[in-house]
Amino acid sequence: MAGQGAVLAEYTNLNNRRKMLDLGGGSGSYSIALCNANPNLTAVVVDLKEPLEIALSLLKQYNLQERITLCPADFHTTEFDQDYDVVLLSAVLRHISPEQCLRLLSKAYDALLPGGLLIVQEFINPEDNPKQSLRSTMMELYLMIGFHSESGNRSKEEIALWLEKTGFKNIKVIPLPTQTTLILGEKP
């Protein structure tokens, strides 16, 4: 799978990881890319029913039905097992309020085993690029109208602070060549 999934796989080292929880995973494309790049990795993709219908067809196309499980659920209200060594949140935090972000990050923390890795992938607005600023402003307006009045692009500093407040350590911010940024944190 090409595109952003390939970039995500390139910039994350999951060689020794076995089980990933992909919250708000939509079509499952990132789980597919990460499982293809890491043969020992399995994944559980959690999202609402409709996006997972697309994911099912992709899983069949990539022959990953045995390694990726689809879980139709609302990640805000669902409790998760606490045996994951990776949790992925891609373009999720921008759709919810800061309070919901902190609750979701806390749930991600609880789902991880000690030494587990949180991967947050978000669109971060580069301060020095006016074109990106206009795009970011338009996206924030869309998010506020379509999702929540406190939705919008988050700063890397804000997300890193949330990870720290939630208990994550060894927080790293990695700008990607594709307009997204990774913010990684480990559960001690």
Are 24 and 46 in contact by the 8 Å Cβ rule? The answer is yes
Q: How far apart are alpha carbons 11 and 23 in whole angstroms?
A: 19
Residue 140 structure tokens = 């924030």
Edge-to-edge strands of the sheet including 68-72?
68-72, 42-47, 19-23, 84-90, 112-123, 180-186, 169-175
| pLDDT on residue 132 | 53
Apex CA 71: angle with CA 82 and CA 106, to 5°? 40
Please identify which residue in the block is written with the tokens 């099912």: 56
Tell me the backbone φ, ψ of residue 8, rounded to 5 degrees: -60, -45
In this predicted structure, the answer to whether residue 142 has a pLDDT above a threshold of 90 is no
pLDDT in tens, 82-135: 999 999 999 999 878 899 999 999 999 999 999 999 999 998 765 544 445 545
Domains in the chain, CATH or no CATH each: 4-186 (3.40.50.150)
pTM passes above 0.85: yes
The whole-number average pLDDT for the span 68-81 is 96
Are 136 and 125 in contact by the 8 Å Cβ rule? The answer is yes
Q: Which residue has the higher pLDDT, 150 or 184?
A: 184
Q: How far apart are alpha carbons 107 and 76 in whole angstroms?
A: 9
Helix (H) or strand (E) holding 185: strand 180-186
What are the residue ranges of helices labelled H in 93-186?
Answer: 98-111, 130-146, 156-166
